[in-house]
Structure 1
Amino acid sequence: MEKIIDLSDGEYARVYDYQLELLRSNPGSTIAVTLNPEILESNVFGRMYMCLDGCKKGFLAGCRRVVGLDGCFLKGAFKGQLLCAIGRDANNQMYPIAWAIVEVESYDSWYWFIGFLQKDLQINNNGEGWVFIFDQQKGLIRAVNELVPQAEHRMCARHIYANWRKEHRDKVFQKMFWACAKSSDRSQFNYNRAKLAQKTIEGAKDMMKTTPEYWCRAYFRIGSFCDSVENNMCESFNNAIMRSRFYPVLTAMEIIRKKVTVRI
C-alpha cells in the first residue's frame, strides 16, 4: 500500500493535464472534472467523468437503447466509488459507454452522472423509447425518475431475489421465483405465482412488494427488444476492471480506458 501511495504522488494535481490529453487524442469525447465545492481555500479533486467519442458513436450506431447503471467501491487507499453505464453489443455482450469516479454514491452524484450520459447519448423526450436497468441503490431511483421519467425503468431481479431469499430460504423456491421473473406473458406469470403460493403463501405475497413491472419479463414494454431481467452486464464490467479499483484516479481511468480500447 505504501508503494501504491508513493506512485500516486502528484496524480491528483495532473487531472486537468490528463483531461486535455484525452480531448486532444479523442476529439468529440466528453471528459469532465469537478472540484470539491465544500473546500474553497484549495483545489481538491471531486469527480471525473469519461465518455470516449468511439464508445458514444458505436453505441448510437449499433446498439439497442438499453443501458445498465451500477456503482462499485474503490478498494485502495483512495476511497470513493466508480459509476458506470453499460450497454449491449450485437453479440449480447457488455458494451462500456461511460464511467466516472465520484466521492460517494448518492442522489447528487447519480444526477450528475446521468445528466452527462443523457447529453452524450442524445436522450430526448424525457427518455421515451429507452430502457434503464439498475439496482435499488441510494439516490439512483430518484435521479432516474427525475431525468428520464418516460423511459422504461427495470430493477435487477437478482438483487430482488437476494432480498426476498432472506425470508424464504428453501432452494425449491429459487426456481419458482425465476420462473415468475422470466414469464413471457401475464397469464403465465399468474400461473407460476399460483404454483409458488401453493408452497409458500407469504413468499408469493412478499414477491409483490416490488411491483412486477420493474422485474418481470411479462410486464416489460413492447418495442425495447430486450427481455433481460437482471443487470449482470454491469456486474461483469465491475469485475473486469477490478485491478483498476485499487489505484488513484489517473491510473484507474487509464487502465479502464486501455481495456475498453482493446476490447473495441
Structure 2
Amino acid sequence: MGNSGEDEENWKFFLTLLKNLLEKFANRSDDWCIISDRQKAIEAALTTIWPKVGRRYCCKHLAKNWKGEFNGPQLYSLFWRACSVTSPYTCKKAMERIEKENPLARIWLTNLGDKSR
C-alpha cells in the first residue's frame, strides 16, 4: 500500500485480507459483522468487497457526532437508550422520547439509515 490514508483502496486491501482469513475459520465469511464509524471509504469498500457481511455502527463514534449536534445530558441519555434497544417496541418508545425532547434529534437518527445498524 503506497499511501497510508484510510481511503477506499486501502480499505479494500485490508477487507480482502480479513475476509480471506475469516473464511478459514467459518464456513461462510458472511456470518461475521463489521462495526465501523460510518466512514464513507469503509462503506464503499465493504459494498464492493464484502456486500453481504453484517454491518453495525460504532455507538461511541455516533455519540461524539451526536454531542456536536445535540447538547445536554437528557438527550445524551436518550441517545444511549436508543442505541441499546432490543426490540422494535423498545426502539419505537426510545425514538418517541427523543422526538418529544427534540424532533430534530429523531430526524438525525433516522437519517443514519437502516435501524438494524
TM-score for both structures, normalised by structure 2: 0.86
Q: How many residues align?
A: 115
1:112 Cα deviation after fit: 0.8
SS of structure 2 residue aligned to 1:154: strand
SS of structure 2 residue aligned to 1:203: helix
Question: Aligned partners of 2:87 and 2:63: how far apart in 1?
Answer: 20
Partner of 1:181: 83
Identify which of 43, 47, 61 aligns with 1:159.
Answer: 61
Q: Is the 8 A contact 1:154 1:213 kept in 2?
A: yes
Identify which of 168, 177, 202 aligns with 2:104.
Answer: 202
Moved over 3 A (4+): 123-127
Partner of 1:12: none
Q: Is the 8 A contact 1:193 1:204 kept in 2?
A: yes
Q: Structure 1 208/151 Cα, relative in aligned 2: closer, same or farther at 3 Å?
A: same
SS of structure 1 residue aligned to 2:34: strand
Question: Which residue type is aligned with residue 195 of structure 1?
Answer: R
Partner of 2:16: 115
Partner of 1:105: 6
SS of structure 1 residue aligned to 2:61: helix
Partner of 1:213: 116
- Residue pairs, 1:1-264, within 5 angstroms: 46=2, 103-122=4-23, 127-211=29-113, 212-214=115-117
Structure with bigger gyration radius: 1
Question: Aligned partners of 2:112 and 2:28: how far apart in 1?
Answer: 24
1:143-179 superposed Cα distances (whole Å, 9 cap, x missing partner)? 1111111111111122122212222111111111110
Q: Structure 1 205/138 Cα, relative in aligned 2: closer, same or farther at 3 Å?
A: closer
Q: Structure 1 126/109 Cα, relative in aligned 2: closer, same or farther at 3 Å?
A: farther
Q: Is the 8 A contact 1:126 1:151 kept in 2?
A: no
Partner of 1:60: none
Bigger proportion of residues as strand: 1
1:125 Cα deviation after fit: 8.5
Question: Aligned partners of 1:136 and 1:109: how far apart in 2?
Answer: 16
Q: Is the 8 A contact 2:23 2:29 kept in 1?
A: no
Superposed CA RMSD in Å reads 2.0
Bigger proportion of residues as helix: 2
Question: Aligned partners of 2:27 and 2:104: how far apart in 1?
Answer: 40
TM-score for both structures, normalised by structure 1: 0.40
